Structure 1
Amino acid sequence: MKFAISYSTPYYGADPDRLIAFAQHAEACGFEGIYLPDHIALYPGAKVGGFEMPATLPYPDPLDCLSFVAAATQRILLGTGVLLLPYRHPVVLAKRLATIDVLSRGRMRLLTVGLGTLPGEAAATGVDFASRGRRADEAIDVLRLLWSGGAEGVSFDGEFFSFDTLVSFPKPLGVPQLPIHIGGSSRAAARRAGRRGDGYFPGGMLAPHERARQLDLARTEAVAAGRDPGALEYTRWGSIDLPAERVEGLAAEGVTRIVVGSTDPGNPFDEMSRFAERFELGS
């Protein structure tokens, strides 16, 4: 089992000293990676499920934050949970992600993308909310095409994006393409993970039978797409006070990575250290 940790920017904001201290402590503890959330813009009345999000919650850009973290760390992998893919142009995003990967010496490897649930956020970025799933599918294809393309250039003609003989450098470090994990709590997200993802990272409060159904759906879609279902990583959220027997249960469900978050925004470092000791992360 792999263990990563989430840095909650709505609690911590964009304090550079706190971000670096958190990332360096996570690395010293032995966590595999650090994840940051994403929202481009909020507005009064914005709701996720039944929860109304205060419009003043700070959400600094996760990729800028991860670049900052990369410069102050050596080993920890960089992740998003989740990056709102439909609201970013994939040609620009391909360059940004490859640049972070090169500058971090190959650590931009926990990219998780999702669709977003706020119609106002879609409207503010000029995206039709109803089409964001198709747009995300196309964006994933564009990212991979640009990363794998050579000096002769690549072309694409889709519903949302189109270009001829385009060349994008730098490339991800040492790999043809960066892994792309799919986030979301719907069966559509599970299907997308099977068809296009390198991993599936469901969130939300799902019943056990629905979680199992979605994982099975992802694997079935992978087979239908001619992909290896066994290569699909399965990431889940967990609490930082997670007992060992719960980890064993998650492993039995096929989970390959657990991402935990601190329950003490005032002092997360002791919690992180205790978790690392309990699961011997540094050994």
Structure 2
Amino acid sequence: MKFAISYSTAYYGAVDPDGIVAFARHAEECGFEALYMPEHIVLYPGAGFGSFQFPPDLPFVDPLDCLSFMAAATDRILLGTAVLLLPYHHPVILAKRLATIDALSKGRMRLLTVGLGSLPGEASAFGVDFATRGRRADEAIDVLRLLWGGDENGVSFDGEFFSFDNVCIYPKPHGLAHLPIHIGGSSRAAARRAGLRGDGFFPGGALSAEERRAQLDLARSTAAAAGRDPDALEYTRWGSMDMEPERVEELAAQGVTRVVVSPAAGSPDDQRMEMTAFAERFGLGK
């Protein structure tokens, strides 16, 4: 089992550069595999899902810029998103940004997780039809891999949302033809997307055990039907900082290969204590 940790400036209500660096360095010292960051590009009064509403002044930093900042302050820890809202990014620009981060970090931008987003007003801000964001994301994944795999002769694409002729993008990812792309989402559509296009599946949400099993089975069966190796699909889940080894054993029995946890404490000192205790409990870095 691999263990990663998430960080969000929105959770702490402020953007503290020194605190971000200290968090990243301590996570690396503790032996966490990766740092994950969420994304919301815009919020607005009333934005939310279900009964939960986002305060519109939450300071969500750009996750890729912040991960670059963290990478410059660390040496080994991998970089991830949970999730990057793919329909709201142009894949040609995104291919360049991701490959640049991977090259400058010497191959650490390896846990990109993409999702569709759940806020209609966020889609409207970018002129994206909320109803088409699934198709848009599928096409964007294809464009990213095409651009990363292209050579100096250029590649072309003619799709529903994106089109270009004979273009080249350099630099390439560090030592890889394509960066891994994990699929986030708590729906069966996300599970199918993971099976068809993903290198991993990272569901969230408050799903029943039966629905989680059904979605993982769907991801794997979809991969097999598409001629892909279902056993190569990584399976990431959220966990808690106070989880015990017995819970990790349960998740491993369900096929989970990575657990991502978030600090529950508010103060930086308490966060570091939480992270240290978690690392010692599971023998990270040994």
Report the TM range for the smaller structure's normalisation. over 0.9
TM-score of the two chains, using structure 1 as the length reference: 0.99
| Mean Cα deviation higher: 21-30 or 47-56 | 47-56
Report what 1:245 is aligned to: 246
Unaligned runs of 5+ in 2: none
> How high is the sequence identity, in percent, across the aligned residues?
72
Q: CA deviation at 1:50?
A: 2.2
Report what 1:182 is aligned to: 183
Q: CA deviation at 1:11?
A: 1.9
* Whole-angstrom distance in 2 between the partners of 1:39 and 1:103: 24
Question: Which letter maps to 2:80?
Answer: G
- Partner of 2:80: helix, strand, or coil? strand
Question: Which letter maps to 2:192?
Answer: R
Report what 1:10 is aligned to: 10
* Whole-angstrom distance in 2 between the partners of 1:265 and 1:38: 20
Q: CA deviation at 1:262?
A: 0.7
- Partner of 1:239: helix, strand, or coil? coil
Report what 1:109 is aligned to: 110
Report what 1:118 is aligned to: 119
TM-score of the two chains, using structure 2 as the length reference: 0.98
Report what 1:84 is aligned to: 85
* Whole-angstrom distance in 1 between the partners of 2:205 and 2:118: 12
- Partner of 1:236: helix, strand, or coil? strand
- Partner of 2:194: helix, strand, or coil? helix
- What do residues 24-83 of structure 1 show as CA deviations (whole Å, max 9, x unaligned)? 000000000000000000000001232111101110000000000010000000000000
* Whole-angstrom distance in 1 between the partners of 2:285 and 2:49: 36
* Whole-angstrom distance in 2 between the partners of 1:17 and 1:28: 16
- Partner of 1:200: helix, strand, or coil? strand
Question: Of the candidates 258, 276, 280, which is equivalent to residue 277 of structure 1?
Answer: 280
Q: Does the CA-based 8 Å contact 1:45-1:52 persist in structure 2?
A: yes
> Pairwise mapping of residues 184-223 of structure 1 onto structure 2 (< 5 A)?
184-223=185-224
Q: CA deviation at 1:8?
A: 2.1
RMSD: 0.6
- Partner of 1:135: helix, strand, or coil? helix
* Whole-angstrom distance in 1 between the partners of 2:82 and 2:266: 18
Report what 1:143 is aligned to: 144
Question: Which letter maps to 1:49?
Answer: G
Q: CA deviation at 1:96?
A: 0.1
* Whole-angstrom distance in 2 between the partners of 1:225 and 1:201: 20
- What do residues 11-32 of structure 1 show as CA deviations (whole Å, max 9, x unaligned)? 2332111111000000000000
Question: Which letter maps to 1:5?
Answer: I
* Whole-angstrom distance in 1 between the partners of 2:41 and 2:90: 13
- Partner of 2:29: helix, strand, or coil? helix
* Whole-angstrom distance in 1 between the partners of 2:127 and 2:167: 24
What is the number of residues matched between the two proteins? 283
Q: CA deviation at 1:282?
A: 1.5
Q: Does the CA-based 8 Å contact 1:154-1:167 persist in structure 2?
A: yes
Report what 1:64 is aligned to: 65
Shift >4 Å, 4+ stretches: none
1:46 aligns with 2:47: yes
Q: Does the CA-based 8 Å contact 1:9-1:37 persist in structure 2?
A: no
Report what 1:268 is aligned to: 271
- Partner of 1:163: helix, strand, or coil? strand
| Mean Cα deviation higher: 45-54 or 113-122 | 45-54
Q: Does the CA-based 8 Å contact 1:90-1:139 persist in structure 2?
A: yes
Q: Does the CA-based 8 Å contact 1:38-1:59 persist in structure 2?
A: yes
